């Protein structure tokens, strides 16, 4: 009877090992998917940052040459305006 008890103990251990490996594989696939999504988000963030920096530089260049866009309060003549 001692011999028959040993295989029944081994089977649950093997079953547990198989379940652990299956769970590990699932988590590994999930991790890779999330890692890919993160990579895409970082790429998108870098593109948006580049676009933002370009916009900031464009605004600074407009301000530096005195072409600040303001609110037109009143048009005096065809070429002259009162701006805020």
pLDDT tens by residue, 2-58: 455 555 556 788 899 999 999 999 999 999 999 999 999 999 999 999 999 999 998
pTM, entire model:
0.53
Domain ranges of the chain: 2-83
Q: What 8-state DSSP symbol labels residue 79?
A: S
Q: Which of 53, 84, 49, 51 is nearest to 70 (CA)?
A: 84
Contacts of 76 (CB under 8 A, 6+ apart): 82
Q: What 8-state DSSP symbol labels residue 77?
A: S
pLDDT tens-digit readout, 48-77: 999 999 999 988 887 766 656 677 788 888
Q: Are 38 and 45 in contact (CB under 8 A)?
A: no
């Amino acid at each position: 009877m001692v011999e028959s008890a040993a295989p029944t103990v081994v089977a649950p251990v093997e079953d547990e090992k198989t379940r652990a490996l299956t769970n590990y594989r699932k988590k590994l696939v999930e991790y890779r998917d999330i890692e890919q999504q993160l990579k895409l988000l970082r790429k998108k963030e870098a593109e948006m940052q580049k676009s933002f920096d370009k916009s900031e530089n464009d605004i600074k260049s407009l301000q530096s040459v005195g072409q600040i866009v303001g609110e037109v309060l009143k048009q005096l003549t065809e070429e002259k305006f009162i701006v805020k």
